[in-house]
Amino acid sequence: MSAVEDVVNLADPQIEGPDDTRVGRIHSDLFRGIARQSGDPVILLDASRLLAPAGGAIH
């Protein structure tokens, strides 16, 4: 079962970019970065890429 546990608004300074993360290397176009919630890392995905049609261009 999948569910949304929480929704949080983040400002760009709160997001560690893919090249700056300290939790390891993740190599995927879907990976947006890492945010820290109560000290724990949360992986952020790029929803526009995640929901794009397969083989379709992203605008």
pLDDT, one tens digit per residue, over 3-17 is 777 778 888 888 887
Residue indicated by tokens 């700056």: 20
CA distance 22 to 25: 8
Token pair recorded at residue 10: 């983040």
**Residue 7 in domain:** no
Residue 58 lies in a domain: no
Residue 35 lies in a domain: yes
Number of domains in the chain: 1
Contact 6/38 with Cβ under 8 angstroms?
no
4 is a domain residue: no
- What's the pTM value of the predicted model, to 2 decimals? 0.58
Reported confidence tier of residue 23, pLDDT bands at 50, 70, 90: low
Whether residue 32 is predicted with pLDDT greater than 70 in this model: the reply is yes
- 32 within domain boundaries: yes
Asked whether residue 17 is assigned to any structural domain, the reply reads yes
